[in-house]
Every structure is written in structure tokens, then in C-alpha cells.
């Protein structure tokens, strides 16, 4: 009847209903929205699947912008739920052009919903959210934005941009837990969700969550995993102490310094700062260099370089400056580790110039 | 660039792939199976929804035994996926009779799958799993068992009983985290799941998880919430230190003592020990007693009595002796708090006799 | 260069100096003092040793009231530092009488300092602090109170009582960490401490800590163990949420119920409620009962009865209702476990009456 | 009676006596000794004070080598306990020469005990432990080594070197908790400690701890702070996973890279690698540079440079590569931050060359 081992993760109490609503409110500040914010007790990809399942219906036409595997999955969920999906693909591992979006919207005036990923962590690119939002709003099109890999790394003013559904996860730039995700829902989005035919009594049902809102948020909407919520509160404490705008600025600084360092090294960032993510920078390996060998060459320095994921990203090396990694020393370490790996493989790399560039960029 | 606040829940590292497989293996010992065990990164109700979505197809006939809201939900998921569902309902808040199951199976010889909940935490009842499994096996019917509220509280030998899919959660008798669930899958179940038409690229897809098995379990199947996994490891450490059979015995002792105490009090347990759950005991309020008043009367003693949930359970009071609550002092406290509440409401309750009964039962 | 294992206790940041002072201020509220509060980075017995070492000098006469081993140790530390110690011993495991204190003070009008333990956790007794303080104040005698086993369990208004030095630890009624202790210091106490000859540059030096105060508390006074401080903050969060007066009331209720339960059982509490501790109740084993056998008889019920410690306490059984244990269910469990142990040893014990008495006391 | 707030640091169980002894044994492996290892429930400076208090006596002559404030304190504790102390001071912030030690030993043949600090974290220097041990052993002199700032950073084979008392803390290179310290004690040291006159019943008494050894280590020697012990176990898990020799190698690499980087920068490390600490590197500010301004100039880069402490160290800047900071990226960040600070103050600093030097040193 005794428990021999102890671990501080044991036995948290149930997370109080009153604090659950408060967590949602604190996330409103992160997203800069006065609309509704829902919490999903699962990783952010589940929130995205729930959005597709809850919004799509037969007869609804969606422009789905695909710039990674995630976008492809989103299209499959939309189609599974009966929507007609017009897929607009960028070149592999490249952001979409706003012009292509505009052309597509003109060609399909019956499009009612537009979905895109803001930034892609697999390839380090970023889509032109602001311009696309202008196009969508001008046409009264509902918008769904996967901001999982951009929140906290880029300005994301949901109400100012007029995004209808924004999906985020706390585990990236906010350095929080991975088992909860969240989304903002505008009145226009609720209209779509409330149309007959959507899923109910399901992890994929946003309508289920509406009951929580409609009941005044006084009870928990289902079983919660308390440790995740306590961890999310801890993350929000940090986010509020630093300030979300400061967090964005920190990521932008890390991204600029990383790209400047790579250029000084003699390497070519896959994408420039304007079209790039602030959470991840990618760089294309020189021809003839073997990817696994390059990653392995960096490992003894203790830096975690990784490979790009998905079509077009196979020869990209990812430098991750997300969350707690958006720091001077880690940017330095990653860029120089990449440089040392290049040298080991027989390529040139100007370690010295890279370090100088990073130091000066970070001091501005 | 500094982080002012600190919380030990911050910043766990990614959970290592090698340990993920080891967690699954440790759960095999809990379930006493040599078959496959999958982990679902969400609460157990999601694992149940995934099972229904992954197994059901048009043309498959399922006998779905309903003894609570959960059973009803399971039927709705089966139907959504196109299965023909034959629903067998027990009387409200009562277990099913094996005879009724047998009659139903005889009436519908084309039934291919049978689903039931082992024990119900909302009403404290337990279905006759062993007898139903004999009926199903004699007919070659695949079986799905929701053991979320019974694992660790009742003997559950998956391979010996021949259950095809068993769904569990660590947050009840194992006193673990709520954000992960698990299920065992037999070869026969894999055959059903592998038939064309099941969901893929989805939180509800068991087929997705098959890829993890087929690849030798060397990589993580999707994003994991590391804190949940570290907490699950801590729970398994405890479970293995105490021994799963000892945990079952502890819950059985707590259940017997609770029912003996209630009887000595002069109250009537809703269901006897044979048909009851070992995790939760329910007792029916006397006519004329107001439920909320009764629960409130127990609160000053610091005990957490709660109301039954679902049809037939509206006037049940739940005494929860699950996990760390399967202890002498908590059983005593709960039963006596219920007795004090009865007295406060003007009913008789023999506090003294109840305490004596519990003490003697617990000393056996 | 990687760290394989993870534990949430790893790698706390240094505890910020600004919060260190805030912790001291929060403890002032617990002690109800506007005077200085110092923190000692060690268990409370070290704080007591430091007080003795810092206050005692050749030429100072101290009345040291001894009601346990701790009091004896305190006397040895006073003597080691050169003070003349007049020892006033109560009968073994009994509180001192205020009359005896008065007589001693009259007999030794040159006494400058009086030291006593407020409550004793080894024997469950309590000394008449209020009366003794009146005697001391009337004579202008400086007072040192070991309140480690009484803070949070008994009213302790340091300024109202006029205590000069009060030593506490957070690990008992406050349910906090054991590696920090604290003490209040009045201006009169600082005068004693500041006399030439006291220790400096030592864990035992309170004068060292004065430097921290004198410098405006802007820097940490030495190396701190950050986890202990974060844990103390967590404890203070709980203490402030419940309220220190409510915590005292909860302990008083637990103590009254425990004694009423023992009496109803047919057992004899070692000391009555008026002279007893609210954190621990002791009961004397009947003649002929074997102590270890009695404790072992309670163990299968999962309750932690323990043996009294020190002269006169050898045949006492301790029921611990401190901190998180000051609860109805634990009081019930402990008293009934003691009753079941008595029965097992062949003595009578009215389990039923005890439970009824506890329930009624706890419902008041 | 409920506790609103939750924190994973709350409510650890008491640390089991059986594991306490096991922790001591695991520390024997760290120290490479088969002798006794004692644990002190306080920061390492308390263990040092306890050693001085327990070993020194009137009539014992100690050669105390002073290379920092700590050494000075140690002398004061020795004198307080009655020993005759011969102080041998190095030049400010410089290591002692073995020749000076030899001369002193020759001049005072009656010296019975020799005490020194292995490495100094305030100035980044290291004393020639191996040579001094040869001198002491040749004369049968008992040795006391403060290895708090060297353990895990330098080879420390207690039995091979023949050190009689070695004091360590887990909070530096082992990245563990700060509230426990430990020491090894040889049979010769026990003889000194056991001579009449040492402190008993005191945090400063090693003799008290002997009772724990003599009783077979079956009970806890006093109250322990459980969180500290659980944290120490977590640290030992990591230490054993990485291997203590690998930890030393990692610190040595970080130290060499730091010094190479500083030299390439154009700066002058205070001391060379041979005489320097592997945990901390110091560098002397150029004349005319203002220390606080230099530290402040590095802060925006998020690096934590700090000022040297003590005589001779006033104009030193400390680069801390201890424990988790013994990493390529942190070494890079610290050295380059120092370089950027120099530039900001108008001095030259070759950022590029420094980065190259560090990268090449770290890749060897």
C-alpha cells in the first residue's frame, strides 16, 4: 500500500475549471484577439484535423495552399469531410506568391474558405500572410491559418488581420507543452462550423466545444490532462514576463543573425529573411555533400542540426532557433557547427567571418 | 532574453524513441498480453473513438453493449464509420446479463464484432466480461473492451481472455497521467483495421500506428508530449514496484470494505460486490434526500463525494476508491462522510457500525 | 555531451535575490511580526544551534526549559558558547508548569534570557507559552522560542507575545521543504547578538546575516539551494491561499477529534487538549502491550503510527496530524488503526464509538 | 481543507534511509575512493566549516594554503577550534607554487595537517594538487582538500592521491542541487576527528556522522531535505550515464577552447591552461576599461559574464564553463560576448579569429 518511488510528476490534482477559462483568456492576448479561443487536449496537428473536419462540408469550396506535408494533410481532411478542394501548390519548399493566390481566387470566385500555413518549420519558409489576408477579406472569404510554427516568432494580430480560425501550439516559440493546442474562432467561423453535418461527440468536433462556451465556460469541456495545463500556465507566466512582442523580436534577431552568419560563411540560406521563418533557418547543402555525413560532423560539437522534411527539402539542413533556442550562443553554435561540418566534408567555410557577422547582427 | 519565472514542468527534452517502445512493452505486462500495444497521445476517450473509426466499415455488423453514455458514444462512432450497429442496452445503471448477450448473438448470427465497457465509473457497475468473452470466442467474434475504468482494479488478462482490442488509460487505478492512452491489438483486430476504407493520416487512425510497428518501432509515431511520457514512466515505476496483481487486490479490498461499510451504515449499495466495480462504489440516496445537499454536507469533512452520471445514475452518490484513493483511511472517510451527510439530512446512519465493518474488512 | 536522463528537479536557475527578501516578508505574515525575519539554508535544528551560538556569551545567564531532547541540546549549545545555563526540567514527556518557571525566575533574578520549546512533536505536549511570556516580559528577559513544531498548528503572534527570537521550519504544518528554516529577531535580540564575541563567517552566525539586512537585502546572503526556495514559495502560495488562521483551526480540529476518538476507543491520550500539541497526539500503550507489535499491527492498514522519542516517551504511540495530515480521513484512519492494533494485541477498543466521536467532532 | 495551488515540488515523501547510503556509495565512485563518504545537509561551505571544526584542536599545527577568501575562512575556523595555523599565501589570485609548500613544510617539521583548495572559481586558478600531495605523503601529513570547484572538472582520484578529507558539492560540474555536500574521510582523518574535544550534537560535527557509519548506515543521520536528495539522485543518474571521466574531458575541452579563443581575440587569459581551472576561465580587463561597463556590454547578448571575487581578482572577468555550461555554444557565446564588450569599450578584439580558434579546438 506504499509507493516506493517518487517523481514530481506524480499525482497532480485535477485542473480547476475556473483556471481553464483563464488559460484561454491568456492565449487571447498572445493571439491579439477578442474572439473565442478554444483549447484542444492534443497536439496541434489534431486541432488542425478538427478544424478541417468541423468546417468542411459537401458544397463548400476551399482554396487550400500547400507548401508542405501539413498543407497536403489539411486538404485530405477537407476532402474527407466532403468539401471541394482547390489545391494551390508552391514550388517545393518555397512560399506561395500572393499573385498566384489572387489568380486562383479570380479563377474560382465561388471559393468560400481559404487555408494556409503561415510558416513552415520543415523548410524554414514563410507565406505572405498579410497580403493573402487582404485578398481574402476583400472577397469575404473565411480564412484558416496554421500558425503553429509562426506564433511567437512573427507578428500575429488575429483581429487586425481578420483571421477566422488560427491554430497554434505552445511547444515551439512559447517553449511550452506539446500536449495541448489552441485555436481562435471568429463569429464567421462559428457560422460555418454550426452548419448541419459537422461531427459531434468527437475529438474532432469544434461544435462540442461550443457547448463549453455557451454554458459560460463554468465546467471543463471533457477530461483534461492536468500536467499539460499546469505546464501551459508556467509557459504563459514566462511569455507574459517577457512580453509576446519581445519574444517575436528575439526570434527575428536570431533569424537575421543566422542568415547573416550563413552568408558570411559562404553558404546560401535557402530563403531570404523576408520570405523566411523566424523559427527555423534552412540552408542548402553544396552539391556532392552527403547530408547524413554533414549532420554527423556537427554532432561532436553538441549542436543539433537536422534535415529538412518533405518534397524539395531533402537537401536542406535546418538550424532551429525556436523558443529557448532563439539565443546568441545557440545561433553562433549552430552556424559554426555547420561551417565546421562543411570544412570536414572538404568545402570552404569562413568560420571567422560568420562569427563576426552574427556578433554584429546580435548587438544591433 | 532571460526567463524570469521557473517551474519544474518547463522544458522537458523530447521523449526518446527508444523509450517510447519500452513504455509500450511495460504496458504489455500490465495487460498480460504478448500482442501489440499502441500508445495514443490523447485521453482514453480518443483511443476509443479511434478504435471505432478504424474497425467499423459498411457491411460490418457490431453488437454494441451499452451500459453508460460511453457505450452510446461508441455506437455513434461505429455508425458514423458505416457499420451496422445492434445495440444491446442494460437497464439504466445496471450491468448487462450474459444471457441477454447470448440471446442477441443467437438472434444475429452475422455479428462480427462485439464491444463492451468492462466497468463503469459513472455508476460503479461491472459487466460480466469473462462470460461474454466465452460467448464471443465460441463464435469467432472479434471483441473490443473499454477497460479504462477497470484496468488495475480487476484481473485483466488480455491474452487468456482472448480480447482483440483493449483500451486503457493510466489516469485511474494506475494513478498516472491523463494525456496518453493505450490499446492492445490482436492479429485478428489488425485484419479488421487493415481492410480498405479506414482512416489514415488522422488522430483516429490505428493504421497510421501500424507503420510504427512495421518500421520496427525505431522512430516516434508523430509528435509526443514529453511530460506525459515522463509521467507515464513514473507511474509504471510505481506499478511495477507494487505489482499489478497487488494493485488489483488493493482495489478489491477497498471495494469490499466500502460496500460492507455502507451496509453497516444502513445504506444500500447500488450493486453488490460481484457485479460492482472495484474503483467506484455507488449508493442510492434515500427517497426525499436532496442530492446536492447531501454532497454539500460531506464537503466540510474534506471528502470528495460526487454524483452519478447518466441515465439511472442521477440519484447515485459515488465513492471513489481509485488509484491512490484505494486506501483504508479514504474508504473510512468517504463512507463516514456519507453517513454524516445522511444524518444531517434527517436520516439514520450508524456511523459506528460502518467504521467497525470497514476496519474489520480491511484487516482481513 | 548529451544528458540521457531527465528529471524535473534538474537545473533550477539561481534563486533571485529580489525574491529571497520577498520570501522573508511572507514569513513575517506567518509569524505576525514586523521585526526582522532571517532565512537559514539548513534544517531548523541548525537555526536553533545558530541562535544559541550567536546569543550566548560568558557572563550571560539563561533559563533553559527542557521538555525534550531538543531542549537538552539547546542547553549544550548555550554552554559551549560560554553562557551560564540554569536548566528547568519538566517531568519526562510533560509540559512545564508556569509556576515552576516563575519560581525559577524569582530564584535567579539575574537571568537575562529564557529559552523554551513551544510544542514537542516527540511527545505531543505543549508548554504554556503565553503565561511564560508574561513572566519574562514583566522582568525584561529576552526570549527564545523553538516554534518548529507549533507554527501553523497554534496561534503564534510573535509581536503581540513579544517573543525576541522565534525559530520555525516550513516542513511541518506548512507542508513545505525541510532544507530551509527561518527565525524572527527583535531589536533586543539584535543587541544580544551584536555583543562582542559571537561567531562570524559561520553557518552558526546570525551576525553574518545582519550584513544582508544592513545592505538593504539587495544581494543573497551566501549560496542558496534554489530548489528549496522554489518549494518554499510553493508552500507559501498554499499557506496564503488557505490562510494561516485557517490552517491553525484545521490543526486544532484534527487534534480535538483525535483525542475525542482515542477516549471513545477506551484509550488514554497522554495529555489533554489544553496542554497538548495540535500537530501530534500521543497515547500511552496499555501495560503489557509490546510497542513494536502494536505499530506493526497498524501497518497493514497503511497508516503510519510511530513511537514516541526521548525520556518518558518510550511507551507512547504518536498519531501525526501535521500539515496535509490534518484531515478527517487521516485522523479517522490513525485512531482506528490504533484501535485495531489494540484488539489484535488482546485489548479492548471500541472502534465504533471512536469513529462516531471523530465524525461528530469534525462536523462541528 | 483543500489546497488551491499545485506545484510539483510539493510534498515529497521522506527520503528512504536505504537510498541515503546508496547515494553515499555512488559518490564514492565519483571520488574514486573506497573510504567513507559522508553527506552534509547544507551547502559545501558548511561541510568545510565542519571539517575545520572537527579536525582542529589545540596543539595541532596546520599548514593552510590560501589562494582565495575560502582559504582565509578555513584558517579562521581552524584557529577558532584552537589549532595553530601557519598560513601560506600565494600572490593574489595566483596558484601556490609547490616549491613554496615544500619550503614551508621544511621550515615547520611539526606540521600535522595540510589544507588547500584544489581549484578556485573566483579567480579560475588551480593549485598543483598532485605535487603537494606527494610532499605531504612523504612526511605523513594529513591532507584536507576543498575540491568543490574542481570535482568533475579535473581528475580527482582520492585514493590514488591519498587525500584524507575531500570536500565536494554537487552544484558545480555535476549540475546537481546546492543544498547537500559530501566529503570523503580516510582512516587517518577519523583518528584526528576522534581525538577528544571535537564538537558533538552539531551541524559542524563529523563525529555525529560517525554514529551513522558505526550503526551500519541503517537509519538517517538526522532530518534530511528530501527534494535535495531526489535531485542529487537525478544528478547522479546523469553523471553515471555520461561517465565522470567524460565529464572531466568535457570540462577540459571547454577550458582549452575558451583560453584559445581569448588569445585569438587578442586578450590575455589570467592564467594558462596548466595552472588554470577547467570550470572557470578568467581574463584581465585592459587598463582603462571599466568593469561594470564591460559586463553590461555583454548582457544584451544574453551571456552571463561576471566579475572576479577577492583580492587580485577585482579586474578579472569570469567566463563560466561549469556543468551544463561546458558546451561549445556557451564557450563561443561567452568569448565572443567578451570580445564585443571590448570593442564597445573602444578596444580591439578579433571576433573572427576567436571563433575560429574555439571551433578548431572543440573539434579536435
Q: C234: burial class by Cβ within 10 Å (0-12, 13-18, 19+)? A: buried
For residue A11, the chain C residues in CB contact (below 8 A) are none
Chain A to chain D, count of Cβ pairs less than 8 Å apart?
96
Among chain A residues, the shortest Cα distance to C1 is held by: A302
Backbone CA torsion sign across D252, D256, D261, D266: positive
Beta strand C306-307 with C316-320: parallel, antiparallel or unpaired? antiparallel
pLDDT over 90 percentage in chain C: 88
CA-based nearest distance B170→chain C, Å: 20
Q: Do B302 and D1 touch (CB under 8 A)?
A: yes
- H/E stretch holding C51 reads helix C44-55
Question: Which chain C residues are within 8 Å of D42, Cβ to Cβ?
Answer: 41-42, 46, 203
pLDDT at C356 over 90: yes
Q: Are D279 and D254 contacting, i.e. CB atoms less than 8 angstroms apart?
A: no
Q: What are phi and psi of D153, to 5 degrees?
A: -110, -20
C87 vs C116: CA distance, rounded Å? 11
Confirm whether the ipTM is greater than 0.90.
Answer: yes
The number of residues in chain C equals 364
C152 close contact with D: CB closer than 8 A: no
A269 forms bridges with which residues in the sheet? A283
Q: What pLDDT score was predicted for residue A1?
A: 28
Chains that touch B (3 or more CB pairs under 8 A): A, C, D
> Does D242 lie at the interface with C, CB-CB under 8 angstroms?
yes
B357 backbone dihedrals φ, ψ, rounded to 5°: -60, -45
User: b/e map of A279-317 (b: 16 or more CB within 10 Å)?
Assistant: bbbbbbbbeebeeeebbebbebbbbbbebbbbbbbebbb
Residue D149's closest CA among D32, D233, D255, D64?
D255
Can you list the positions of beta strands (E) in C179-299?
181-185, 280-284
Give me the residue from A1, A2, A302 closest to C1, CB to CB.
A302
- The pLDDT value given to residue D9: 78
Interchain CB contact of A5 with B (< 8 Å): yes
CA-based nearest residue to B331, from B304, B293, B291: B304
Using a CB-CB distance cutoff of 8 angstroms, which residues of chain D are in contact with residue A302?
327-329
Helix and strand element counts for chain D (H, E): 13, 10
Nearest residue to B90 (alpha-carbon basis) of B135, B46, B132, B137: B132
Mapping DSSP onto H, E and C, the string for chain B reads CCCCCCCCCCCCCCCCHHHHHHHHHHHHHHHCCCCEEEEECCCHHHHHHHHHHHHCCCCCEEEEEECCHHHHHHHHHHHHCCCEEEEEECCCCCCCCHHHHHHHHHHCCCCCEEEEECECCCCCEECCHHHHHHHHHHCCCEEEEECCCCECCECCCHHHHCCCEEEECCCCCCCCCCCCEEEEECHHHHHHHHCCCCCCCCCCCHHHHHHHHHCCCCCCCCCCCHHHHHHHHHHHHHHHHHCHHHHHHHHHHHHHHHHHHHHHHCCCECCCCCCECCCEEEEECCCCCCHHHHHHHHHHHCCCCEECCCCCCCCEEEEECCHHHCCHHHHHHHHHHHHHHHHHCCCCCCHHHHHHHHHHHHHC
Contacts of D41 in chain C (CB under 8 A): 42-43, 179
Chain D residues with CB under 8 Å of C42 CB are 41-42, 46, 203
- The values of phi and psi at residue C276, to 5°, are -100, 165
Contact B363 C303 (CB under 8 A): no
Smallest CA–CA distance, residue C83 to chain A, in Å, is 45
Interface subset of B 14-73, CB within 8 angstroms of C: 16
Size of interface B-C (CB pairs under 8 A): 96
Query: Comparing C-alpha atoms, which of B8, D216, D236 is closest to residue C234?
Result: B8
pLDDT in tens, C273-286: 899 999 999 999 99
**Probe site for chain A from C8, C227, C238 (most A CB atoms < 10 A):** C8
Mean pLDDT of C100-116: 98
Which residues in C lie closer than 8 A to residue B352 (C-beta atoms)?
A: 351-353, 355-356
C123 pLDDT more than 50: yes
Residue whose C-alpha is closest to residue A319's, from A263, A245, A269, A247:
A269
Any idea which of A28-42, A163-177, A291-305, B149-163 has the lowest mean pLDDT?
Answer: A291-305
Q: Are A257 and A358 in contact (CB under 8 A)?
A: yes
Residue C252 CB neighbours (<10 A): 16
**Per-residue pLDDT tens over the stretch C235-286:** 999 999 999 999 999 999 999 999 999 999 999 999 998 999 999 999 999 9
Of residues A112, A194, A129, A195, the one with CA closest to residue A163 = A129
Residue with the three cell numbers 559551549: C80
pTM, two decimals, is 0.94
DSSP state, residue C278: S
Tell me which residues of chain C, numbers 296 to 355, contact chain B at a CB-CB cutoff of 8 Å.
300-303, 327-330, 332-334, 336-337, 339-340, 344, 351-355
pLDDT in tens, chain B (364 residues): 233 456 777 778 888 888 999 999 999 999 999 999 999 999 999 999 999 999 999 999 999 999 999 999 999 999 999 999 999 999 999 999 999 999 999 999 999 999 999 999 999 999 999 999 999 999 999 999 999 999 999 999 999 999 999 999 999 999 999 999 999 999 999 999 999 999 999 999 999 999 999 999 998 888 889 999 999 999 999 999 999 999 999 999 999 999 999 999 999 999 998 999 999 999 999 999 999 999 998 888 999 899 998 888 989 999 999 999 999 999 999 999 999 999 999 999 999 999 999 998 887 6
Alpha-carbon distance A315 to A123, whole Å?
10
Is A12 part of the contact surface with chain D (CB cutoff 8 Å)?
yes
Query: Distance of alpha carbon A13 from its chain centroid, rounded?
Result: 30
Q: How far is it, in rounded angstroms, from Cα A126 to Cα A117? A: 8
Residue A303: list chain D partners with CB under 8 A.
328-329
Q: Which residue of C has its CA nearest to A3?
A: C302
| Residues 170-189 (B) with a CB less than 8 A from some CB of A | 171, 175, 177-179
Identify which of A329, A334, A359 has the shortest CB distance to residue D340: A359
The shortest CB-CB distance from C8 to any of A8, A300, A302 is to: A8
Q: Which sign, positive or negative, has the C-alpha torsion C223, C225, C230, C233? A: negative
Please provide residue C254's backbone torsions phi and psi, each rounded to the nearest 5 degrees.
Answer: -60, -40
Nearest Cα of chain B lies from the Cα of C337 at a distance, in angstroms, of 8
The whole-angstrom distance between B175's CA and the closest CA on chain A is 7
Q: What is the structure's pLDDT at A5?
A: 55
Q: Is B28 exposed, middle or buried (0-12, 13-18, 19+ CB in 10 A)?
A: middle
User: Residues A337, A303: contact at Cβ < 8 Å?
Assistant: yes
How many CA atoms are closer than 13 Å to the CA of D235, on its beta-carbon side?
A: 31
Per the CB < 8 Å rule, is C46 touching D43? no
Nearest to A49 among B41, B203, B242 (CB): B203
- pLDDT (mean) for A333-361: 95
Q: How far apart are CA A251 and CA A324, in angstroms?
A: 10
Neighbour subunits, C (≥3 Cβ pairs < 8 A) = A, B, D
Distance from CA of B323 to the nearest CA of C (A): 14
Under an 8 A CB cutoff, do D227 and C201 touch? Answer: no
In this complex, the residue of B1, B9, B302 whose CB is nearest that of residue D302 is B1
Pairing of strands B142-146, B165-168: parallel
Q: What is the largest CA-CA distance in chain A?
A: 70
Query: How far apart (Å, rounded) are the C-alpha atoms in residues D229 and C228?
Result: 11
CB-nearest partner of B327 from A1, A171, A241: A1
Which positions in chain C touch D201 (Cβ < 8 Å)? 73, 76-77
A222 touches chain B (CB under 8 A): yes
In the block, cell 490562510 appears at C243
**Backbone dihedral angles phi then psi of residue C5, each to the nearest 5 degrees:** -100, 155
User: Do the chains contact at B328 and C337, CB–CB below 8 Å?
Assistant: yes
A9 and C CB contact within 8 Å:
yes
Question: CB burial class (10 A; 0-12, 13-18, 19+) of residue D271?
Answer: buried
Q: How confident is the model at residue D11 (pLDDT cuts 50, 70, 90)?
A: confident
Q: Quickly count: other Cβ atoms within 10 Å of residue D108's Cβ.
A: 14
Q: Is the Cα torsion angle A346, A352, A353, A357 positive or negative in sign? A: positive
Contact A328 D337 (CB under 8 A): yes
Burial of A16 (C-beta count, 10 Å sphere; 0-12/13-18/19+): middle
Which of D177, D208, D323, D328 best tests the C interface by mutation, with the highest count of C CBs <10 A?
D177
Q: Report the C-alpha gap between B259 and D289 in whole angstroms.
A: 80
Nearest CA in chain D to C237: D5
How close C313 comes to chain A (CA, Å)? 27
- Band (pLDDT 50/70/90 cuts) for residue D8 is confident
Nearest 5 degrees, angle CA A58-CA A64-CA A67? 150
Show Cβ contacts of residue C256 under 8 Å, excluding neighbours closer than 6 positions: C273, C361
What residues in B contact D2, CB-CB < 8 Å? 302
Predicted local distance difference test score (pLDDT) of residue A4: 44
Q: Count, in order, helices (H) and strands (E) of chain C.
A: 13, 10
Q: Which of B1, B43, B223 sits opposite A327 (nearest CB)?
A: B1
Range A69-79 average pLDDT:
97
Q: How far is CA B264 from CA B349, B356, B358, in A?
A: 9, 8, 9
Q: Mind telling me how many Å the CA of C228 is from chain B's nearest CA?
A: 12
Query: Measured between CB atoms, does B8 come within 8 Å of chain D?
Result: yes
What backbone phi and psi angles, to 5 degrees, belong to D214?
Answer: -65, -30
pLDDT 10s digits, C181-228: 999 999 999 999 999 999 999 999 999 999 999 999 988 988 889 999
Closest CA to B156 of B188, B183, B190, B196: B183
Nearest Cβ partner of C223 from D3, D43, D250? D43
What residues of B are in contact with residue D302 (Cβ under 8 Å)? Answer: 1-2
- Residue B111 has a CB neighbour count (10 Å cut-off) of 21
Grid look-up 564557450 returns: D331
The maximal CA–CA distance of chain C, rounded, in angstroms, is: 70
For residues D159 and A136, give the distance between their C-alpha atoms in angstroms, rounded to a whole number: 76
Read off the DSSP letter of residue C95.
P
Answer yes or no: do A327 and B76 touch at CB < 8 A: no
**Residue B93, by phi and psi: left (phi above 0), alpha (psi -120 to 50) or beta?**
left
Q: Smallest CA–CA separation between D302 and chain B, in Å?
A: 6
Mean pLDDT of A90-118: 97
Amino acid at each position: 500500500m506504499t509507493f516506493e518511488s517518487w517523481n514530481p510528476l506524480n499525482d497532480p490534482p485535477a485542473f480547476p475549471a475556473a483556471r481553464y477559462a483563464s488559460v484561454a483568456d491568456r492565449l487571447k492576448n498572445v493571439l491579439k484577439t477578442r474572439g473565442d479561443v478554444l483549447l484542444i487536449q492534443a497536439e496541434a496537428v489534431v486541432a488542425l484535423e478538427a478544424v478541417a473536419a468541423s468546417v468542411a462540408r459537401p458544397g463548400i469550396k476551399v482554396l487550400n495552399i500547400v507548401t508542405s506535408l501539413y498543407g497536403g494533410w489539411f486538404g485530405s481532411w477537407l476532402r474527407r469531410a466532403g468539401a471541394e478542394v482547390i489545391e494551390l501548390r508552391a514550388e517545393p519548399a518555397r512560399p506561395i506568391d500572393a499573385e498566384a493566390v489572387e489568380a486562383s481566387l479570380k479563377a474560382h470566385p465561388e471559393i468560400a474558405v481559404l487555408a494556409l500555413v503561415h510558416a513552415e518549420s520543415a523548410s524554414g519558409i514563410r507565406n505572405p500572410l498579410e497580403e493573402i489576408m487582404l485578398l481574402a477579406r476583400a472577397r469575404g472569404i473565411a480564412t484558416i491559418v496554421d500558425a503553429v510554427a509562426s506564433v511567437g516568432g512573427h507578428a500575429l494580430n488575429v483581429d487586425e488581420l481578420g483571421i477566422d480560425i488560427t491554430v497554434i501550439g505552445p511547444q515551439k516559440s512559447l517553449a511550452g507543452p506539446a500536449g495541448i493546442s489552441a485555436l481562435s474562432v471568429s463569429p464567421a467561423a462559428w457560422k460555418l462550423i454550426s452548419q448541419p453535418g459537422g461531427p459531434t461527440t468527437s475529438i474532432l468536433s469544434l461544435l462540442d466545444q461550443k457547448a463549453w462556451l455557451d454554458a459560460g465556460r463554468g465546467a471543463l469541456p471533457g477530461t483534461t490532462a492536468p500536467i499539460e495545463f499546469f505546464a501551459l500556465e508556467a509557459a504563459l507566466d514566462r511569455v507574459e514576463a517577457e512580453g509576446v512582442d519581445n519574444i517575436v523580436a528575439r526570434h527575428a534577431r536570431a533569424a537575421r543573425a543566422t542568415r547573416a552568419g550563413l552568408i558570411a560563411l559562404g553558404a546560401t540560406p535557402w530563403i531570404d529573411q523576408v520570405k523566411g521563418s523566424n523559427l527555423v533557418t534552412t540552408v542548402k547543402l553544396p552539391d556532392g555533400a552527403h547530408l547524413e555525413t554533414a549532420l554527423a560532423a556537427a554532432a561532436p560539437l553538441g549542436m543539433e542540426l537536422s534535415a529538412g522534411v518533405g518534397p524539395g527539402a531533402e537537401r536542406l539542413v535546418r538550424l532551429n532557433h525556436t523558443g529557448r533556442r532563439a539565443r546568441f550562443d545557440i545561433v553562433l553554435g549552430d552556424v559554426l557547427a555547420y561551417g565546421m561540418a562543411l570544412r570536414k566534408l572538404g568545402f570552404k567555410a569562413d568560420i571567422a567571418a560568420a562569427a563576426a557577422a552574427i556578433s554584429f547582427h546580435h548587438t544591433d
